[in-house]
Amino acid sequence: MDYSIEIQPLDQLETDCIIVGVYKNQQLSPSATIVDDNTHQLIRNLIERGDIKGKSNETLLISVVPDSTIQRVLLIGLGDEEKFNLKLYRKALTAAVKALKTTQIKSVACTLAEIELNGCDYQWRCRQVVEIFNQNLYQFIETKSIKPTPVALSSVQITATEKNKDQANAGLVQGLAIAKAVSLTKYLSDLPGNICTPTYLAEQAIKVAENFANLEVEVLDEADLELLKMNSFLAVSRGSYQPAKLICLNYQGANSNKKPIVLIGKGLTFDAGGISLKSGGGMDEMKYDMCGGASVIGTLQAAAQMKLPLNIIGLIPASENMPDANANKPGDILISMSGKTIEVLNTDAEGRLILCDTLTYAEKFNPDVVIDLATLTGACLVALGRVPSGLLGNDDELCDDLIGASKTAGDSVWRLPLWEEYQDQLKSNFADMANIGGRDAGTITAACFLSRFAEDYRWAHLDIAGTAWRTGVNKGATGRPVPLLCQYLINRADA
Ligand code: BES
Ligand code: MN
Ligand code: ZN
């Protein structure tokens, strides 16, 4: 898909289709007014006939526009003019791309970025066009022998004026980077576990880094992990034929004395549960247990592509969790890299076991902040469903920054408490802690476990179990929380 900024006046624009907006009060967007004036009130006539009410999500394609260089007009309902906001803007763009997908339209000019939005500038509005079009045009076709016919659409022009074209171009650059990162994350996540193994994931990280001089990758293998005494991480991998990898990405976009932001992503390429084997239903979805790791690769790529003036480390502990004769067992006690001992009461609570050693490893980078992202608990789905990611952390400022970024990015989070009282649930009679905290507050006790390995720096944890992929007929990866993380990094770069 080719995205570009177009500053030609509308009466000189040549395109297969122009996208304009109509409010519920029958008001037209500025560009809709111009098109209407140039076409003998074509739009107003259709509104008067009742063909479009202007409700949010409504679309109407006008396929013939007499005497015009514009071949078609796609009307998008914007809803109440007074209530128009960021969410409705994103909804309007989604409706537009969905309507276009089924047509033969090859080139389109989108004017919706002109619509004023409280707190969202032209740059952000242009960026969203690219992100949302890309999000809705993604198809995973890698493993189909009969490929579906590709959509006809191949060029999207975002209209701007002489006055705001610099903002528009900056938004385009960001949008392209984020869109590409989301697609890469979705692609790696959608790949099945027999293709996307820890080794494969490491190779993909290396491939991404080859494109940028200031992005480097180091892949630690099991021998390296043994030397580091990452026994907790290694215990998870022991039941699998696939060797574990710790993928370390290093993006240096700022002076080397600037403390790095560390992103850690759970990279469980398949989670069968281990000896505490999961039940059969829906187990295929546990190929998505590496979505956190894929998001880290995507986010680092976007940061490098946007040339953000930051230092960022990405750490991905990658492993399978399988039930082999050599697998770790309930009751086993592990000595983690930190020296703290862990009683494994359930081998299916493996995410925290690979993350805890990685959190300890992160100390060596003297981080400014550490953010981990993990498809960590089914309990997060029970608590929050599939709408926001769970957010927990030991630093209010960092959590507030992430909440702010999530609102701008349209990639929601909801903070849960990480109070001392919950720590009691992790008591073990035989080790410093157990790896599970019982039925109650599963997302919180998982974060409590992690917090014990993140005492030396500001840390936040995103539980993306409900948000990283969709289940059911539309099963597929979402690429979340890449938009949120990119926004957080953009904000940090601007600060
Ligand atoms: N990867 C799963 C969490 C998960 C389950 C995410 C279902 C999305 C959907 C994780 O490794 C896991 O198995 N967690 C256990 C923890 C329990 C044993 C304390 C869970 O949630 O059941
Ligand atoms: Mn598990
Ligand atoms: Zn898991």
| Statement to judge: residues 131 and 249 lie in one domain | no
| Statement to judge: residues 200 and 92 lie in one domain | no
- Please give the Cα distance from 325 to 330 (Å, whole number): 13
| Statement to judge: residues 349 and 447 lie in one domain | yes
| Statement to judge: residues 294 and 151 lie in one domain | no
Could you tell me what percent of the chain has a pLDDT over 90? 99
Per-residue pLDDT at 318: 99
Q: What mean pLDDT is reported for the chain?
A: 97
Per-residue pLDDT at 45: 96
Domain-located, residue 170 = no
Domain-located, residue 102 = yes
Is 210's pLDDT higher than 90?
Answer: yes
Ligand 1 atom nearest to CA at 437: 19
Q: Whose CA is nearest to atom 9 of ligand 1?
A: 378
CB under 6 Å to ligand 1: residues? 271, 289, 346, 348-351, 375-379, 436, 442, 465
Residue 329 token pair: 């067992």
Per-residue pLDDT at 32: 98
Domain-located, residue 134 = yes
Q: What is the pLDDT of residues 436-482, one digit of tens each?
A: 999 999 999 999 999 999 999 999 999 999 999 999 999 999 999 99
Domain count, the chain: 2
Inter-CA distances, 248 with 24, 190, 251, 332, Å: 51, 22, 10, 28
Residue finishing a domain among 130, 160, 190:
160
User: Which of 191, 411, 213 shows the shortest CA–CA distance to 294?
Assistant: 191
Region of 433 (left: φ > 0; alpha: ψ -120 to 50; beta: rest) is: beta
Per-residue pLDDT at 278: 98
| Statement to judge: residues 144 and 240 lie in one domain | no
Q: Whose CA is nearest to atom 3 of ligand 1?
A: 377
Residue 282 token pair: 């829906």
Q: What is the pLDDT of residues 132-191, one digit of tens each?
A: 999 999 999 999 999 999 999 999 999 999 999 999 999 999 999 999 999 999 999 999
| Statement to judge: residues 222 and 368 lie in one domain | yes
For residue 384, how far is its CA from the centre of ligand 3 (angstroms)?
Answer: 18
Contacts of 348 (CB under 8 A, 6+ apart): 271, 273, 274, 276, 277, 278, 321
Residue finishing a domain among 131, 160, 189:
160
| Statement to judge: residues 221 and 88 lie in one domain | no
Residue 18 token pair: 């122009």
| Statement to judge: residues 250 and 290 lie in one domain | yes
Q: Which of the ligands is closest to the CA of residue 446?
A: 1
For residue 187, how far is its CA from the centre of ligand 1 (angstroms)?
Answer: 22
Which CATH number characterizes residue 113's domain? 3.40.220.10
- Token look-up 């992430």 returns 402
Residue finishing a domain among 128, 160, 192:
160
User: Rg of the chain over CA atoms, in angstroms?
Assistant: 24
Q: Which of the ligands is closest to the CA of residue 319?
A: 3
Q: Whose CA is nearest to atom 8 of ligand 1?
A: 465
Q: What is the pLDDT of residues 399-430, one digit of tens each?
A: 999 999 999 999 999 999 999 999 999 999 99
Domain-located, residue 174 = no
| Statement to judge: residues 190 and 128 lie in one domain | no
| Statement to judge: residues 150 and 206 lie in one domain | no
Residue from 283, 288, 377, 444 to probe ligand 1 pocket by mutation (most atoms less than 8 Å from CB): 377
User: Which of 273, 260, 274 shows the shortest CA–CA distance to 314?
Assistant: 260
- pTM attached to this predicted model: 0.98
Q: Confidence class of residue 67 from pLDDT cuts 50, 70 and 90?
A: confident
Distance of CA 160 to the CA centre of its chain: 28
Per-residue pLDDT at 119: 87
Q: What is the pLDDT of residues 33-48, one digit of tens each?
A: 999 999 999 999 999 9
Residue 470 token pair: 């969709």
| Statement to judge: residues 411 and 357 lie in one domain | yes
Q: Whose CA is nearest to atom 16 of ligand 1?
A: 349
- The domain of 150 spans 2-160
| Statement to judge: residues 187 and 296 lie in one domain | yes
Domain-located, residue 474 = yes
